[in-house]
């Protein structure tokens, strides 16, 4: 089970995550988010990480010029498009900065079926996505809601590796072991406050996730 911790704002928290063996860390570049960081903060946070831990830049409908500046100034490995970007837009933006990319889909049980989710995944796969992230839908928020969606809508045979997000914590991550997913992504479930992580919660989550991998 691969694990991504997202929404870091504090250097000590990101160091703790690295010590616990997380596979990837997410930095949020979306100003309305309470977990958003500036370029200067991101540079400090990324400097805290050892090699072989991926840095994921979460962006929401970011213009090309802004993404180019971000890529020129911050060392990150993967773009996580978390807005309303189309497959074509994702491909063009990622190509402009020469980065691998993930697309987040916000799953709504009133609108989605497993088949429609599969169709959306296929479109992003065709555009060159490296993985897909499934998160809970909220009418006014682009992720970070702490809500869980209906896991029965996760396709059994996805054309892309699936990263599961939305409402995960140490108490329920073990329940994901039977799901057809590649990785889990957690933010609120390891926090004491938005953007401030809890070392004990991070450790508990990693322990449970590692148990799923055995």
Q: How far apart are CA 70 and CA 196, in angstroms?
A: 23
Strand partners, 136: 107
Q: Is 6 a catalytic residue?
A: yes
Q: Give the active site residue among 77, 135, 150, 207.
A: 135
Specify the DSSP class assigned to residue 139.
T
Q: Is 198 a catalytic residue?
A: no
Q: Where are the alpha helices (DSSP H) in 98-188?
A: 114-127
What is the dihedral sign for C-alpha 129, 127, 141, 176?
negative
Strand partners, 133: 104, 163
Q: How far apart are CA 35 and CA 67, in angstroms?
A: 18
Residue entry with tokens 């949020």: 28
Q: Give the active site residue among 6, 13, 90, 185.
A: 6
Q: How far apart are CA 123 and CA 129, in angstroms?
A: 9
Specify the DSSP class assigned to residue 50.
P
* Count of H-run helices and E-run strands, the chain: 6, 10
List active site positions.
Answer: 6, 135
């Amino acid at each position: 089970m691969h694990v991504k911790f997202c929404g870091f704002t504090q250097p000590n928290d990101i160091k703790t995550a690295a010590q616990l063996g997380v596979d990837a860390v997410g930095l949020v570049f979306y100003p309305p988010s309470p977990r958003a960081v500036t370029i200067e903060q991101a540079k400090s946070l990324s400097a805290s990480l050892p090699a072989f831990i991926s840095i994921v830049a979460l962006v929401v409908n970011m213009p090309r010029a802004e993404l180019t500046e971000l890529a020129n100034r911050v060392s990150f490995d993967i773009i996580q498009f978390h807005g309303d970007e189309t497959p074509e837009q994702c491909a063009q933006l990622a190509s402009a900065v020469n980065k691998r990319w993930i697309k987040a889909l916000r799953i709504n049980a009133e609108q989605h079926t497993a088949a429609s989710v599969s169709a959306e995944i296929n479109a992003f796969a065709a555009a060159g996505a490296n993985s897909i992230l499934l998160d809970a839908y909220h009418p006014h928020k682009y992720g970070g809601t702490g809500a869980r969606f209906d896991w029965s809508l996760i396709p059994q045979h996805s054309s892309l590796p699936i990263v599961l997000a939305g409402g995960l914590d140490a108490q329920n991550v073990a329940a994901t072991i039977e799901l057809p997913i590649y990785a889990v992504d957690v933010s609120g479930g390891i926090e004491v406050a938005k953007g401030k992580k809890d070392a004990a919660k991070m450790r508990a989550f990693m322990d449970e996730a590692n148990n799923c991998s055995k």
